[in-house]
Structure 1
Amino acid sequence: MRILLVYPEYLVTDGAAYNLPLGLLHIASYTEAQGHQVTLLDCAVVPNWKDRLRAQMAEIELVGISAMTVHLPSVQQILEFIRGELQWKGKVVLGGVHATLFPVQTIESDWFDYLITGEGELPFLELIGALSEGRDPSQILGLGFRNEAGQVVVNPPNKSFDYSTMPHINYGLLEPEMVEYFRGASIGVLSSRGCPFKCSFCINSAIEGSNKWRSWSAERTADEIEYVLNTYGSNTVWFWDEHFFVSRKRVSELLDAIEQRGLKFSWAAEIRADTFRRILDDELLQRLKDNGCIKLAMGAESGSEKMLKIYNKRINPEDVYEAARRCISVGIQPTFSFIIGAPGEDREDVALTLAMFARLMRIDKGIRILGPQIFRPYPGSPLYEKCAESGMTMPQSVEEWIVSVLRDMTENNPYISPWIKEPGFVNTVWFYSFLLSTDLSILRELFLEYCEKTAKNLAFRIAGQLGIQGFALLGRLRYRLNFHALPWEIQLFKKYRAVLSF
């Protein structure tokens, strides 16, 4: 069967970083290895994707789309184009986070013939087989559809995928410019799936089977690393595992394999802050550095022990400081992400988080702070119920979600939710912390990229860069003074954006 897999673009986030569609690449690689003809279209890097579809759709028998909620406006454009202008009559399957979290309302939309919840490799392959052979697919686990009576059916989740059976990921399915980008740059590798921890805000709490950790063996992981380094010429690997350091044995064996093969590359991975006291002694940490580890990213989430308990993080603030000190001691950059605005949080909790920022900066200026991001609830997660009790309402259809996404991403103050006691204060902290934690050079680069896209003149560019510099400096001064009252710069920033249309 000839299959087109589509990764939509973010329509409403100018300058957003490119996200490698690694999940869709896994499904494409697995499906291709079973003998099917697979093409992957990444709309995020193909500005003329309509021309590409015009040239391809006549031969395509099945379209699969992987989407988060933020992708839905792009999904709408894609479907209106292939169903409307091209009059394509084939089947469309939606997978990914949105379909998994909202299966009933998604299949009710009539946009999709099928949807797949959870991990997609097995149900997608079974669906292809059933459609190719004219068999009834209605018993496939993880499949959603409308039956002959028009009733919505969402089958129970499929069994967890045996990750050891995954073939080499075929990055060659990506657009040629992205394959070329990997040469001399970084490439994403996923060596395990799932996370055994159950943080109350995490999407894994809402997705069946996501708390079951499965991994490649150390040798299989080393095979994949060697494959991508030799095939694509990359010099840096970012492990996209949700928790790379679950098993000390696997990490030690992987370092052995890297040393035995003489692989020379830089790499980064996700880690929990408490891993340093649980399994990562000084000897193993030094081995990480000696074998190319340059960055370890972890979720600190909050400086408040009360909030860490609400989040079910099973760490304490001292774990974060210890992780920072030990990373710096061997020359590995630690990166910490944070959340504010969750149910139960008050000003004192936010103050403790800001104090943690300051203490981390005193440990070393090279420590990277991400956020804080303002909390968003995932249906099915423990904190979602707390949000619902506050009067939160959620969109009830794909169409309503699209309206919500476009509103949230285009308004200047999207992150106000009914469970937040002091929304103005939380939004102010978020605004100033963003200016503090974002490198000025990155802000300027994003602005210049926007100017290139929109052909802005020299005067516009100068005014924009001066404005960015000014807002960033004011934000950092407020942070150092711990003064968040009278946030006149936010109102000025709104007018500044409106004048420059940025």
Structure 2
Amino acid sequence: MRHLALISGADTTRRLDALFINAPLRDYGLRPRTNDYTLPVLGMAYIATYAQRCGFNVGVLDAEAHGLGIKEAAEIVNEIAPRWAAMNLLAPTYEMSARIAKNLAPGIALMVGGHHAKAMPDRILSDPRMKNLRALVLGEGELRVAALLEDEQQRRELPGVIWRDPILGTRATGISDAHTTALMTRPDINTLPYVNRAFLPQDPYRAAPTESDRRIASARGGDWLAAAARDGHMEANIVGSRGCPYNCTFCGAAWSANPDVKIRVRSPQNIIGELDQLHDDYGVTCFRFVDDLFLGVRDVIREHMKVFADNRIGDRYVWDATGRINVLDRLSDSDLDVLVGNGLREVALGIESGSDSVLAAMDKRIDADMTERVAHRLLSHGIGVKGYFILGFPGESRADLDATVRHIRNLWEIADHAPGDIRASVFEFRPYPGTPVWTTLTAAGHDPDKLLAYGDVDLTADGADESMRQRDEFNFSVGIQFGEVPLGDIRSTLAMLTREQHERNQPTAGVAA
């Protein structure tokens, strides 16, 4: 079959038990994708890996990574004809998922999960396009998905599995005791198999060398670092923990939106086992921890870094991670030295705004001065920073927006006088169901249907063509002005900052790529 090459990880010589589908952010049959890399769907790959370990023949169709249109994606699923089609539902891609589901052949059973499924299960169950839906799985799905593949009737005893009775039209839910619920919905992450990278078409991948790589190679020497500075690293994404203890009002990972998720951190030995496996199998020398908050608890950081040091991780690898500004602010200089010695290259920080009033509304528990202080310390130690910023948050004033622009430029100025680099990644605010700010907006009278009307935004009219190319997948909006500043001004500011960052990325600028 002509589409078999797009199916990752499956034995395509026999029928698939399940095909996991990552829907595209937009219909690429209408406008082609411009960026050539998208973040891997690690959560989906964890579920597929566990199902495969249980003996099922499963594969992944990453329609976003392959830049597929809706019609082509549905045709592929019908051509492969798995027993089950499985989708991770996210608010920005829900319409794409629903349109694919509408076109599935009647004999293909559908199961869904993901943040959007958890936030709006009844809305999804009642969507006529989801006519094939036989199981909606709330929360972490590894064990329950495998049980459904073994026998659909097990759903009656599976906690957090919902379906609609086809005769009565009522909602039905699996029933189990407390012990089974804890076991099935919160698996021990240290016993789960490492992700089978065959399910990820773009991970591991060869990344171009950065100024950080060249600086690290110059400072530390070593043949492998010199090669990485010249040719780039083989890089892989990895998850070191699940859950987040914070309640940032805009975030789908906020604890109030995920009361079922128990915060767990993988043991350092378990993490190192995966690092070494990826190095042995693929030659990976750089890792990106993409979980919600890998560097988010001081005692856990110190525990992990001791074991990393004992295993000489910094002599063999470099790595990037997410971090929490208020936690990093409490680390000592010696703690930062240990992180550098263990190979830390860059920290991704949710800076979000330069306005303290907006930060308070977001429940970030930081202020702009703290961010600049932490950035200065990290950059002075040679640790790069990738800062995420949100423009157009509800209630944001013109003065707040101006404060964010000044804040970003202050951070660039700090980086210009430090060995570390800083990258600013700027986004337009969009609401997600289930988050605290969604509750606030709907209580204030916003129509949920309009809040869910995500659409892609082409920002090239603001002269940011090349600077926007690699972040094309992130440019989407619900088209609503939530603060004082008009959307056109928000987008012009976003394009301006992105263009300035792109210019700083060029080698002649002397800052990070």
User: Contact 1:204–1:210 at 8 Å: present in 2 too?
Assistant: no
Secondary structure of 2:393's counterpart equals coil
Asked if 1:43 corresponds to 2:52, the answer is no
The residue number in structure 1 matching 2:490 is: 426
2:135 counterpart residue number: 114
Farther-moved stretch of structure 1 (39-48 vs 219-228)? 39-48
Offset, 1:81: 4.9
Q: Distance in 2 between the 1:74 and 1:381 partners?
A: 21
Partner of 2:197: 171
Question: Comparing 12-21 with 286-295, which one deviates more in the overlay?
Answer: 12-21
Equivalent in 25, 39, 43 of residue 23 of structure 1: 43
Structure-2 change in CA distance of 1:305 and 1:72 (3 Å): closer
Q: Provide the residue aligned with 2:93 in structure 1.
A: 71
1:439 Cα offset (Å): 4.5
Deviations 1:116-145 (A, max 9, x none): 1222223323323432xxx35234222121
1:243 CA drift (Å): 0.8
Matched, 1:368 2:423: yes
- Give the aligned residue type for 1:15: T
Q: CA deviation at 1:171?
A: 0.9
Alpha-carbon offset, residue 92 of structure 1:
0.8
Equivalent residues of 1:343, 1:386 under 8 A apart: no
* Cα distance, 1:281 vs structure 2: 1.4
Contact 1:303 1:355 in 2 (8 A): yes
Counterpart of 1:212, as a letter, is K
Question: Which residue does the alignment assign to 1:287?
Answer: 338
Do 1:341 and 1:426's aligned partners in 2 also have CA atoms closer than 8 Å?
yes
Give how far 1:149 is off.
0.9
State whether structure 2 residue 480 is matched by structure 1 residue 417: yes
Contact 1:217 1:250 in 2 (8 A): no
Render the CA deviation track for 1:291-340: whole Å, top value 9, x for unaligned. 22111110111112211111111112222111111111111111211122
Letter matched to residue 328 of structure 2: F
**Residue 470 (structure 2) aligns with:** none
**In 2 relative to 1, CA 56–109 (structure 1 residues): closer, same or farther, beyond 3 Å?**
same
Q: CA 1:4 to 1:338, structure 2 compared with 1: closer, same or farther past 3 Å? A: same
Contact persistence 2:236–2:287 (CA under 8 A) = yes
Cα drift, residue 56 of structure 1: 3.1
Is the CA contact 1:391–1:418 (under 8 Å) kept in the aligned structure 2?
no
Counterpart of 1:254 (choices 290, 304, 307) is: 304
Deviation at 1:428, TM superposition (A): 3.6
1:232 corresponds, among 272, 277, 282, to: 282
Residue pair 1:5, 1:41 contacting (<8 A) in 2 also: yes
Match of 1:314 among 365, 381, 385: 365
Residues 344 and 9 of structure 1, relative CA distance in 2, 3 Å threshold: closer
**What displacement does 1:50 show?**
6.8
Q: What is the CA-CA distance between 1:90 and the residue it aligns to?
A: 2.6
The DSSP-based 3-state class of the residue aligned with 2:59 is: strand
Kindly tell me: are residues 38 and 331 of structure 1, through their superposed partners in 2, closer, same or farther at Cα, counting changes over 3 Å? Answer: same
Amino acid at match of 2:63: C
The correspondence for 2:148, drawn from 98, 123, 127, is 127
The 1-side partners of 2:110 and 2:402 are apart by 48
Give the one of 384, 400, 403 matched to 2:438: 384
SS in 2 for 1:343: coil
Q: Which runs of 5+ in 1 are unaligned?
A: 443-502
Q: How many residues align?
A: 424
Shift in alpha-carbon separation, 1:327–1:178, aligned structure 2, 3 A: closer
Does residue 241 (structure 1) correspond to residue 241 (structure 2)? The answer is no
Match of 1:149 in 2: 168
Q: Please, which moves more after superposition, 155-164 or 232-241? A: 155-164
Taking the aligned partners of 2:99 and 2:191, their CA distance within structure 1 comes to 35
Q: Is the Cα contact below 8 Å between 1:168 and 1:224 reproduced in 2?
A: yes
Question: 1:9 deviation in Å?
Answer: 2.4
2:326 to 250, 265, 274: 274
- In the other structure, the counterpart of 1:446 is none
Compared CA separation, residues 322 and 440, structure 1 to 2 (3 A): closer
1:356 Cα deviation (Å)? 1.0
Maintained 8 Å contact 1:377/1:383 = yes
Which SS does the other structure have where 2:284 is aligned?
coil
Correspondence for 2:246 among 178, 191, 197:
197
Asked if 1 retains the 8 angstrom alpha-carbon contact of 2:156 and 2:173, the reply is no
Question: For 2:79 and 2:433, how far apart are their aligned partners in 1?
Answer: 39
Which amino acid counterpart does residue 119 of structure 1 have in structure 2? E
- The answer to whether the Cα contact below 8 Å between 2:89 and 2:113 also exists between their aligned partners in 1 is yes
1:415–1:427 contact (8 Å) kept in structure 2: no
Task: Report the 3-state secondary structure (helix = DSSP H, G, I; strand = E; otherwise coil) of the residue aligned with 2:329.
Answer: helix
Deviation by residue 1:442-465 (Cα, 9 ceiling, x = unmatched): 9xxxxxxxxxxxxxxxxxxxxxxx
Give the Cα separation in 2 of the matches to 1:71 and 1:174. 19
SS in 2 for 1:164: coil
Given residue 288 of structure 1, which amino acid in structure 2 is its aligned partner?
L
Q: Which secondary structure state, in structure 1, belongs to the residue aligned with residue 388 of structure 2?
A: strand
Q: How many percent of aligned residue pairs carry the same amino acid?
A: 23
Greater per-residue helix proportion = 1
The answer to whether the Cα contact below 8 Å between 2:135 and 2:155 also exists between their aligned partners in 1 is no
Determine whether 1:298 maps to 2:298: no
Given that 2:157 and 2:174 are in contact with CA atoms closer than 8 Å, whether structure 1 keeps it comes out as yes
The answer to whether the 8 Å contact 2:91/2:432 transfers is no
> Is the 1:218–1:251 Cα contact (8 Å) retained in structure 2?
no
Q: Is the 2:325–2:371 Cα contact (8 Å) retained in structure 1? A: yes
Contact 1:164 1:216 in 2 (8 A): yes
